[in-house]
Every structure is written in C-alpha cells, then in structure tokens.
Structure 1
Amino acid sequence: MSGLLSVSDVSVAFGEARVLDSVSLSVRRGEFVGLVGPNGAGKTTLLRAINGVREPDAGTVSVDGDRQADCSAKAWSRRVATVPQDTSVSFAFRVEDVVEMGRAPHRRRTQFGTSERDRRRVEDALELTNTVDLRDRRIDELSGGERQRVFVARALAQDTPLLALDEPTASLDVNHQVEILRLVRDLVGDGRAGLAAIHDLELAARFCDRLALLSDGVIRAVGPPETVLRSGALDPAFETTTAIATNPVTGTPTVTAGADIDEGRATVVSDARRVHVVGGGRIGSHAIASLRRVGHEPSAGVLRTGDVAFETAESLGVPIVTTPAAGPVDPDAVATAHELAGDASVVVLADVEIGPRQWTLDLAEGAPAVVLLEERSLSERLHSGDRARERYERLRERATIVDPGDVLSAVEAAAGPVEQPADD
C-alpha cells in the first residue's frame, strides 16, 4: 500500500487556545484509519485542516504527494471528499441532486448541464451505497441512516482518493452504525484511503485497520486497534478507568469505561470489608471496580481469562482465580475460589450463570452475608435443574438483592457494622 495522506507537524490555534499541537499522521492507500479520543480533543479540527476548511497555523498536509498549500480549493476538493457529522440540509433537494453536488469540483466554468462522465459517477455512487431506490426522494424525508448513506454517496461521486468522515455514525442506531462503517470499509478496500473520527471505540476497533488516539491536541498513540485500546493510553486520555477485553464474536477489543471509578470523587469507607465477587462480564467488572474504589478488599473468581471482569481485576491488582477462556471450569480453580470466599465477610453474586455443577452457589452458601446483583431473570441464567432453582431461592431469602448499580450500599447493608473490640 502506497502512502496517500501525510499530515506533518500540524498546529492549529483559536486565539490563545492551541487545539492541535504538532500533529503528524499518515494514512496509506487501501487503509481505513479511525481517529478516536474524548470530546474536545481536536478530532474535527484535524479533519478540517485536512479537507481545507481550516488552514493550519503551522505544518503541512499532503495527499498523494500534492501539498494543500500549493492547491486551489477546487483542486483540493478533487483530492479530499468529506462526509460531515451534520447531514441536515436547508432545502428539500432530491437525493440524486445531492449526490450530483459531489461532481462540482470536476466541472468547468463553461459547462452547462450534466456530462456523461458525471452521470456515470453519480450512478456508480448510488449503486455502491445502495441508494438507487432513494434517488427521487427528498433528502428531508429520509431517516438518519438513509441520509448518511446519501452523503457518503455524494463524497464517493466526488471521485477523490481520500475520504474524510467526521463522526459518520453520530445519532444513528447500532444497525445503521454498522452499515455505514462496513460501507466505508468496502469503499476504502477499493483503493481509496479513509480517515474517520469515530466516538464508539469498539466499532472503530472492529472496522478500522489502525487507530490514532488524539487527546488535548496531541496524538497519543497510533497503531492496530489492539495496541491503541489499552488502559495505559485510554485512561489518561479519557480521564477514567477502563477495562479491555476481547469480543468473542468479532475477536476485536471491547472497552468498558467506568467514569464512576473516579477516585477523586469516591467516598472511602471507614470500615473496609473483605468481599469476594463471583460472576464476570460488565456487572462483575463494575462490582470489582466499585468495591476497590471505596477501599474495600475485593477478590474475584472464578473468572475466564479475557473476560472484562478479569481485565478489571488484573488492572486494579485485585486477587483473581482464573480458568481458561474456553472449556469446563478448572476444579482446582473452584477450590481456590472457595478459599478466597471463605475468607470474605460478604460474597457478591454478580448476575451469575448457574451451571450443572452449581459451584457458584457453593461459593455463596457458606458466606456470612450474600449480595445478589440481578439484571437478568433467573430463567435466563439457570442451566441446571429444579434442585439448583431451589438452592438459589433459599439463598435469596437471606441475601440482599439489588440492581447492579447499588452494590456498595448492598454490601454495607449485608455486612452490618464492624464489631469493635471491647475496652479492657
């Protein structure tokens, strides 16, 4: 793949505020790069510097060897096509007319009407974006996903080597988000290059070849998604605590961000408890992080390696009992979990699955106090017979039962006050 976009030491300031500070980035032909980072990081400003809307205060932008500073606005529009975040329009144009607007940079001043070349490009763009059946509809009648596809078609009709997209999935439901990014992925694979600001880190990881993490106007990390989406880079950029795992379906990174794990806003408990958390996933991860945040002493397991709760516990230095990501749970791991649970004053079952061996129930039944975090119904989590259901119902009779977000108050209520030694 040959180099196509080159951004070299680009800086942009608005008054006293420097929005971009010596940013450098390259995108190769055939590559889709996701620009990620918190709101206000400078992503939109960087895209505007690339598409020519905002001239950099310093540095250079080049596409296919041509410097932006050496090109007219019209010539640059033949190199970079933009899909804006806001696809609202002031007039009720027909879809085909909107797509044809992409041909403006290629038209001569003396040209009247639509040339055969323009027609072919518009037709190709409509077909590639699956908007042929929309061509006679008014743009203001379309859904958000349909309108976004039309603006991608307009950029495609512009016939440029580089596509620059500013939050192309903003305000779309998940099905349309996937549809748009898959479309861009296919278009880039056809020999173009793509650079998109994407707010959803997991979608960016799924569809982009590389990610560039922008924070406070500086590129903090660039590389394949699995090398950029790491807590060490994400935590300072987003000012939160993150846990990274692998999506078992796509094989790409998943990110769980916990703004509620901000230690600066946490109230540290005066009576720390030993708490053992059973159950993984998002709910187990939240429980582990919340307990650790306020000063309790959590342990966790049995957790499968790669589970988001495993990643959370490992990143926070919480004792964990693990078993391989696939296959039956290791009996030795269950035995070790019994030791940790036996040392705890509270056992938390975090929306647990109950399998034929029922070891999750075994861990809780001997505990002095039990907290049940329930999000799904028992029937969704029960993979055993009536005996397991009866055991769980008996456990419920003495447990503190709350929604997952109330784990801290539930632990306090379940454990009661810490007994103080009597004075001599």
Structure 2
Amino acid sequence: MSGPTGSNSADPEQDHSGPMLDVSDLAMSFDDQSVVSGVDFSVDRGSLVGLVGPNGAGKTTVLRAVKGTLDPDRGTVRIDGEPIRSKSAKAVSRLVASTPQGTSLSFDFSVRQTVEMGRTPHLGRFDRMDDGDRRAVETAMERASVTQFADRPFTSLSGGERQRVLLARALAQETPVLLLDEPTANLDINHAVRTLELVQTLVEDGKTAIAAIHDLNLAARYCDELVLLAGGGIRAAGRPANVLTSDTLRDAFGAETLVTTQPGTNAPLVTPLANRESVDRRVHVVGTGKPAASAVSKLVGAGCRVSVGVTPAGDIAAERATDLDCEAVTVPAFAGIDDAARERAVELAQAADAVVTAGETGDGNSAVIEAGDTCLAVETDESPPMRNGRDTVPLASLPEAVASLPPAAERDATPLLNQSTTD
C-alpha cells in the first residue's frame, strides 16, 4: 500500500500488475462541511487494509466513495486501473462488494433470499439464477457460517448473526474487492475474531479487502496495513506498528495511550490512559430529514461526539450519521419504534451533554427527548421561540450553544477500542 502521496494513479491501458485500488486526491463534504480532503492511498492486490480513526473522521464516507454510491467533490477512485466513474453501477457491483454497518431490511426476507441478492449484478433484468449462481450462494453461506439459518427470516436473527448474513451476501457477489464497514459490530469477541480470520483467508486466496474498524487492537492484529483518518485527512498510513504510535494516536484522537505488543504477535497493543483533559461534548440528535442531517453535520464539524435516533432507516439524518461515523439507532421505514431501539436511544440521550431536536421527532421519541438533562431545539421557520420547554437556537449557533453547556460528570474512559455503531 502506498500512503498519502497522490502519486499512484494508474493508466487504464497498463497491465494488471499495479494496485487493485487507487484513491487519488479524494475530497467529500456535506452541507458545506468538509469531511475529508486530499485523501490518497492505494491497496495492493491480495491485502487487507484497515481504515481507522475517531468518529466523524470519514471512514464510511471513503468506503462509499470507493463503492461508487457517493460522488466525490474532487478526486478519482480507480479499481484495477480504471476509474469507477466511467462504469455503470452494475459494472462497479461486479468489482466491489460491501457490507454496511446497518443490519435492517424493510421486508421479511429469508437468509437464503438475502444472500441471493448478492448475485443481482451478474443477472440480467429477467434472468433467473442458474446452477452456478446457486453454488455461489451455498458457498458464501458456508464460508460465513450461516447455512443453518438459511430458511429463517433475516429479522429473526441477532445483530451478530445478521452481520454474518450480510457478509455472506457480499461473498456471493464474487468480486475481487470487498469493502467492510464495521464488520465486527454487534459481534462477540469469538465471532469478531472468526470474521476477521475469514477475511484473512479470502485475502490469502487473492481477494483485496478494505475494512473500517473502530477496534484498534483487532485492526492491528489482522490488517496488513492501516490508513489513519483524522481531522479531514490521512494522518498516517503503513504497517500497524508504524501507524499506531502514542504520538500519532494523541494527534488523531486527542488521547493519551500506552502502546505495547499483543502477546504472541508482533501487532501493537493500544491501551488508553486516563484522559488528562475533558473530551468534546456528547450530543444526541432526535429528528428526521434535512434539519436533523444538517444538525449532525454542524455538530460533528465542531468536534462534538454525536449520536442519532430513533429514526427510520434510509432517512437522510440516519444516512448522514452513517457517512460521518456516528452511531444511529434506526428502525425499518414505516415501522414503529420497538422497545430495544427506544432503550438504546434513551441510553445515548442520558449519556449526552445535550439532546438536540431538529425536524420531525415523532411521538415515539418523547421518552428519548425527556431522558436528556438539557434539550435544545434547532430553529426552523415553523418553530416558535420556545417549544415544549426547549430553548430554540439557529442552526448556525448550535455548536456555540452546545459548547456553553457544562460537560457530563463522567466520560467513557476507553472510546478508542470499541466505538461500535448500531445504524
């Protein structure tokens, strides 16, 4: 892998000896808020590269640009030497498969049907799966250890089991490049290790994999190379031992760490030390639509640690939270808020320094809003000066209003190693 040099652009006419993936001068922004800029790296064939960094660093955004679902403001993504912008969405899907952070489906598909979706890029509009497609599905389910769930509804599975099914769907796609957005989220340590060992096996067989991983120690143990994103760009890239240093982590995370070696390996072991200074404000956003999405962008841009929910999956606020590596508690579109989602959102609101409402919040989120000690409402054309006892503030003044609030009495002492998301 080459780091942030910007010198690895491949000519489409060259042979296939160059890197499988090349990202050159990538820049992305939302609502005029820059997320990443000047991102340059390349990934060699048959290697596993981890994207690491604090929440809001843009890991998911970079993955979505590589997948082609987001058009960058600037820059080029090349796969096997060819710019993906020159290809149709279906052609890109034959090159790149991905597993998302979210595990929600709007309809009650079986596990087998979910995995079969991975064959879509290989089928014409009216084509049916043939024996080769069915073999690819069976092999993918076996490799991801979900064959025993084949006939069960996807919605009946646990979060970790759903994550494995989505990995099987990506494997069924049979692409040379695999993108993994938090592949160990919702997995216990045993299944997290098994998942990354499976990815290692796939890489040994020639596949190229890129994974956004919050757990620095798992990333150090299983990734060949790391790209550390922070502050809108790449802070370090290379072998894990060269990236995960105390100085680099202090610069990227604003935290003090002790870096040693994981027992039995040469991989770095990162241990967070007690924070010497208070961390930035935690804010939980409740709402939907562009007002809530804009509030998320504004708060993340100001350095806040943001969570969102409960909101429908696919809503722009949930998508924005995903783009900015923020935890989003979601439910399927047009479904009510279930107890598990409400309880998680209440936990996040209680842990936050402030709850911010923006756009339509819905009656089902009243318990979430009431769980916060301090609540601010983003001012809109329809909002009165005061609403339900909440101070209203203009979007432009939201970061200053949050910064003026006293921080929570207690903070999470270990935000680096497991910042898993549930969106």
TM category, shorter: 0.5 to 0.7
Match of 1:230 among 236, 240, 245: 245
Deviation of 1:258 after TM superposition, in Å, equals 2.5
Answer 1 or 2: higher relative contact order, Cα 8 Å, separation at least 6: 2
Q: Does residue 1:115 correspond to 2:130, yes or no?
A: yes
Per-residue displacement from partner, 1:240-277 (whole Å, max 9, x unpaired)? Answer: 11110112233321111235223899xxxxxxxxxxxx
Q: Which residue of 2 aligns with 1:391?
A: none
Match of 1:211 among 216, 226, 249: 226
Measured in 1, the distance between the counterparts of 2:18 and 2:173 equals 21
What letter matches 1:251 in structure 2?
A: N
Q: Does residue 1:19 correspond to 2:35, yes or no?
A: yes
Q: Which residue of 2 aligns with 1:89?
A: 105
For residues 295-310 of structure 1, what are the structure 2 equivalents within 5 Å?
Answer: none
Q: Which residue of 2 aligns with 1:312?
A: none
Q: Which residue of 1 aligns with 2:260?
A: 245
Measured in 2, the distance between the counterparts of 1:49 and 1:245 equals 34
Deviation of 1:144 after TM superposition, in Å, equals 2.3
Q: Does residue 1:183 correspond to 2:230, yes or no?
A: no
Deviation of 1:174 after TM superposition, in Å, equals 1.5
What letter matches 1:65 in structure 2?
A: G
Measured in 1, the distance between the counterparts of 2:186 and 2:47 equals 25
Deviation of 1:2 after TM superposition, in Å, equals 4.7
What letter matches 1:190 in structure 2?
A: D
Measured in 2, the distance between the counterparts of 1:244 and 1:147 equals 33
**Partner SS for 1:260:** coil
Matched residue pairs, number?
265
What letter matches 1:74 in structure 2?
A: K
More helix by share: 1
Deviation of 1:159 after TM superposition, in Å, equals 1.0
Measured in 1, the distance between the counterparts of 2:250 and 2:25 equals 25
2:51·2:211 contact (CA, 8 Å) conserved in 1? yes
For residues 321-340 of structure 1, what are the structure 2 equivalents within 5 Å?
Answer: none
**Partner SS for 2:65:** helix
Q: Does residue 1:126 correspond to 2:145, yes or no?
A: no
Deviation of 1:225 after TM superposition, in Å, equals 0.6
1:42·1:216 contact (CA, 8 Å) conserved in 2? no
What letter matches 1:51 in structure 2?
A: K
Measured in 1, the distance between the counterparts of 2:231 and 2:161 equals 33
Instruction: Name which of structure 1's ranges 242-251 and 152-161 shifts more when overlaid on structure 2.
Output: 242-251
Larger radius of gyration: 1
Match of 2:162 among 144, 147, 154: 147
Per-residue displacement from partner, 1:374-400 (whole Å, max 9, x unpaired)? Answer: xxxxxxxxxxxxxxxxxxxxxxxxxxx
Measured in 1, the distance between the counterparts of 2:190 and 2:160 equals 9
The CA RMSD over aligned residues, in Å, is: 1.8
2:170·2:178 contact (CA, 8 Å) conserved in 1? yes
Q: Which residue of 1 aligns with 2:291?
A: none
Q: Does residue 1:254 correspond to 2:269, yes or no?
A: yes
User: Please, what TM-score do these two structures have when normalized by structure 1?
Assistant: 0.60
Measured in 1, the distance between the counterparts of 2:157 and 2:133 equals 24
Match of 2:210 among 195, 216, 222: 195
Q: Which residue of 1 aligns with 2:354?
A: none
What letter matches 2:115 in structure 1?
A: V
Per-residue displacement from partner, 1:96-141 (whole Å, max 9, x unpaired)? Answer: 1100000111111231x32222112111111222222221111112
Structure 1 unmatched ranges of 5 or more: 266-424
Q: Which residue of 2 aligns with 1:9?
A: 25
1:31·1:209 contact (CA, 8 Å) conserved in 2? yes
What letter matches 2:101 in structure 1?
A: Q
1:167·1:198 contact (CA, 8 Å) conserved in 2? yes
What letter matches 2:207 in structure 1?
A: R
Measured in 2, the distance between the counterparts of 1:122 and 1:183 equals 16
1:9·1:24 contact (CA, 8 Å) conserved in 2? yes
Q: Does residue 1:80 correspond to 2:96, yes or no?
A: yes
For residues 345-364 of structure 1, what are the structure 2 equivalents within 5 Å?
Answer: none
Measured in 2, the distance between the counterparts of 1:115 and 1:33 equals 34
User: Please, what TM-score do these two structures have when normalized by structure 2?
Assistant: 0.60
Per-residue displacement from partner, 1:56-93 (whole Å, max 9, x unpaired)? Answer: 11110011112111001111111111100111222221
What letter matches 1:220 in structure 2?
A: R
Residue 143 and residue 263 in structure 1: after superposition, are their counterparts in 2 closer, same or farther (change >3 A)?
closer
Deviation of 1:160 after TM superposition, in Å, equals 0.7
Measured in 2, the distance between the counterparts of 1:42 and 1:129 equals 28
Measured in 2, the distance between the counterparts of 1:172 and 1:127 equals 18
**Partner SS for 1:214:** strand
**Partner SS for 1:191:** coil
Q: Which residue of 1 aligns with 2:235?
A: 220
Q: Does residue 1:44 correspond to 2:55, yes or no?
A: no
